[in-house]
Chains A and B, each alone.
Chain A
């Protein structure tokens, strides 16, 4: 799965998230999501992730679960920035395909 496709879906999800929640989360790989300097509260992070999961399911026909034991035990948290999140999504989609 090419990274740019996942970026597109994540950015589209951020657009939806921003519109509904009247937020202005920047669509950039470096945007810090959660943790030190993060822009999201825990419940907002969950909301955005489920939005992304739904969009991946709708558009790529991949049913994935981003928040899991595996995600929590990565050496770099997938929820740190948009880039780490996109990389992690690519990882689990690829693993799912194999």
Chain B
């Protein structure tokens, strides 16, 4: 059975807390029992092995049980969260979902109802033939249409068979995100505790860390910046927090430095993963460094034309709605620009986000990192604008911490840039904007 090893660990830890949800503890025995009930309920709804089932939920006790039940029933699991509510219908159709289950805000399940789709994609046929459970994840689609990546869950689960540390962690990344599922499976496979959060504001997350003695927070650089500017850390005891992992987007060096200065005892660990490939094992050189070793068992890495490429044993089978992206010999071209020094990599940014100013290349993250050090800046996003003289020019959108005279601020920013950036890297257009600059996944949205 696909998750026999997982059930065994759960059985061994049956008296331990598996999930904390709305200030209530649910132990592993509860999770095992509920998973059985879910299985029966799903079967009674008419769902069969190999069927494609969408589940609308966020991390909750029942949502975790539903996932485990669907894996055991060898179904294809398509998680959908409120972060994609506008796209849910599109995802259900692209995913050829045959069933839709919903888990309410009060953690009640609405068992799967039949939809009018036929799941006949070759990747689904392959999963049925091999009698393996599947998973569909949607890429963020920030640069176009979201792509649906189909995974064989047996491959994804393989790496969790190795026993690692048992920890308590906040599930910050979402239920439909490769990082969120990775955290969940890591915790379950080691008898750890999943602490869910009522919302993902700095105060809500840090208060959960304080209250439940959380040791691990997997998050994004954007959220780390929000913690710093909100000063929420002053209001909670974070002494149990040992490790903060960050991924999903490049880390501005200035954010890393500010965090390290405030929390010298907390280990900062960079992670790297993609909906198409899964999460690589990673090891930051140290908490102060953006250099990271990437790979681990089942992954090979290489750099071609400064772009990071990965070959993974457990890569997706392919997309449902896009051509096969792998090279002939099975490498996935990530689109991430990297530098390499021995075994270590430094992620510079997306190749598609480079700004070309009269032939000179500008990396938005580098400029953002520099600007973030200027007083009174809460958030900053660098983006390109077309320009017939230099091709593109560097523009910046700034959210201020406190109101400031627009004109004086612009002069202050420009003088600062003159001191710290080469002329082609200096933002030409400066906009002040009161809106937050990140998505529901706490990832910077580039205008």
- Please give the residue numbers on chain A whose beta carbons come within 8 Å of chain B beta carbons, in ascending order: 16, 19-22, 41-47, 50, 54, 58, 67-69, 71-72, 79
Contacts and interface: CB of A to CB of B under 8 A. Distances in A.
B375 to A, nearest CB: 17
B357 interface: yes
Interface of B: 357-358, 387-390, 393, 407, 410-411, 414-415, 418, 423-424, 426, 428-429
B415 to A, nearest CB: 6
B388 A71 contact: yes
A50 B429 contact: yes
A20 B415 contact: yes
Contacts of B424: 43
A33 B424 CA distance: 18
18 contacts: A20-B411, A20-B414, A41-B423, A42-B389, A43-B390, A43-B423, A43-B428, A45-B389, A46-B389, A46-B390, A47-B426, A47-B428, A54-B410, A54-B429, A67-B387, A68-B388, A71-B388, A79-B389
Contacts of B410: 54
Contacts of B411: 16, 19-20
A36 B424 CA distance: 21
Contact of A44 (B407, B415, B423): B423
Contact of A72 (B388, B390, B393, B426): B388
B428 to A, nearest CB: 5
Nearest to A47: B428
Query: Residue among A20, A43, A69 with the most chain B CB within 10 A?
Result: A43
A42 B388 CA distance: 10
Contacts of A19: 411
Contact of A46 (B387, B407, B415): B387
Contacts of B426: 47
A22 B419 CA distance: 11
A22 to B, nearest CB: 7
B387 to A, nearest CB: 6
Query: Residue among B387, B389, B414, B429 with the most chain A CB within 10 A?
Result: B389
B415 A43 contact: no
A21 B80 CA distance: 51
Given A46-B428, A47-B428, 4 more contacts: A21-B418, A46-B387, A50-B428, A58-B407
A44 B414 CA distance: 13
B272 to A, nearest CB: 34
A47 B425 CA distance: 11
Contacts of B393: 43, 46, 50
A43 B357 contact: yes
A42 B424 CA distance: 9
Contacts of B387: 46, 67
A54 B20 CA distance: 52
B397 to A, nearest CB: 14
Nearest to A20: B414
Contacts of A47: 426, 428
Contacts of A45: 389
B358 A43 contact: yes
Nearest to A48: B428
